[in-house]
Amino acid sequence: MILVKTIEELGKLLKNYRSAGESIGFVPTMGALHPGHISLVSESRKNEGVTVCSIFVNPTQFNNPADFDKYPVTIEKDINVLEQAGCTVLFVPATAEMYPANDPVLHYDLGFIETILEGKYRPGHFQGVCRIVDKLLNAVKPDTLFLGRKDYQQCMVIHKMIGLQAHQTQLQVCDTVREADGLAMSSRNMRLNKEDRQTALHIIKILRSIQSNLKPGDLSPLKKVAFQHLEENGFKSDYVEIADAVTLEPVTTWDGKQPLVALAAAFLNEVRLIDNLVLTTGQNA
């Protein structure tokens, strides 16, 4: 694995691979890697070519400075894990490399998708995500970008940004990787104490309960019960929502056909956890 720290170095290296006819797969991360990230590397490796990963804890996507300060950093371990996983090139830029002085701040016209759920509860978050991923795509110019479905709304936002900025990159969204007991893997799980790690399971529990109790008609009671369940178990919830799986518009009355996804975000003490479950793709309707 080759480790590079500057955009210039990265550009030169990838030009050689491209000239040799290699395709480029890209897995952007903020480090604190877990098997969910490694599954994205494995997906990229299926395409044979070159797999590029980046590790950069992006300050502009943290609307809460305390969350940024506490974001886990495990760089030595991450480098080893990526080497073992067969990553070809690791890009680890410094903050000044990605955000030089007087760096212009673009505004991405994301529309409705930025106004709801994560966009509503983390103002500015998706602008920060787009800003860094746009820069990374300009630097890597990958054929395929690999993202995990755990960040369902982020995948939609980045898909939109790829179109807005006319990047020549295909987005491949990969399944959420879960612990044996169902907890979605997340770098933030490292911050949970033993007790909260167990309590965290209530998130997937309510999503699965929504799925098994889903029937056409009014969905409000399902959402309400799920929200209350989290509150009763010590969470401070931002939202439990059932939304159209394609547009992310909240769905109140279900016709039995519309594709649906259930999404939740909640704090357990100071740790904010998110998860989602696609309830129905609408394909059997």
In terms of CB distance, is 142 or 242 closer to ligand PAF? 142
Span 45-64, contacts to ligand PAF by CB under 6 A: 58, 61
Contact present, 53 and 171 (Cβ < 8 Å) = no
Residue bearing tokens 């594709």: 259
Contact present, 28 and 167 (Cβ < 8 Å) = no
Beta-carbon contacts of residue 212 (< 8 Å; ≥ 6 apart):
none
**Of the ranges 27-35, 69-77, 110-118, 222-230, which one interacts with ligand PAF (CB under 6 A)?**
27-35
CA 40 – CA 184 distance, rounded (Å): 15
Residue 196 beta carbon to ligand PAF: minimum distance, rounded to whole angstroms: 21
Span 142-201, contacts to ligand PAF by CB under 6 A: 151, 154
In terms of CB distance, is 64 or 198 closer to ligand PAF? 64
**DSSP at 250:** B
HSE-CB for 109 with a 13 A CA cutoff = 3
| Binds ligand PAF (CB under 6 A): choice among 28, 36, 93, 119 | 28
Residue 175: phi, psi to the nearest 5? -60, 150
Catalytic residue among 37, 125, 167, 202: 37
Residue 65 beta carbon to ligand PAF: minimum distance, rounded to whole angstroms: 16
User: Per the structure block, which two tokens stand in for 149?
Assistant: 């479905």
Question: Could you say whether residue 129 binds ligand PAF (CB under 6 A)?
Answer: yes
**Of the ranges 3-11, 23-31, 77-85, 168-176, which one interacts with ligand PAF (CB under 6 A)?**
23-31
Residue bearing tokens 């480029």: 24
Residue 55 beta carbon to ligand PAF: minimum distance, rounded to whole angstroms: 9
Contact present, 169 and 142 (Cβ < 8 Å) = yes
Residue 278, helix vs strand vs coil: strand
In terms of CB distance, is 37 or 202 closer to ligand PAF? 37
Residue 5 beta carbon to ligand PAF: minimum distance, rounded to whole angstroms: 17
Residue 279 beta carbon to ligand PAF: minimum distance, rounded to whole angstroms: 23
SS3 of 129-187: HHHHHHHHHHHHCCCEEEEEHHHHHHHHHHHHHHHHCCCCCEEEEECCCECCCCCECCH
| Binds ligand PAF (CB under 6 A): choice among 87, 130, 132, 251 | 132
In terms of CB distance, is 61 or 169 closer to ligand PAF? 61
| Binds ligand PAF (CB under 6 A): choice among 24, 25, 26, 29 | 29
CA 120 – CA 241 distance, rounded (Å): 13
229 is catalytic: no
**Residues at the site binding ligand PAF, with contacts judged by CB under 6 A:** 28-30, 58, 61, 129, 132-133, 151, 154
Catalytic residue numbers?
37
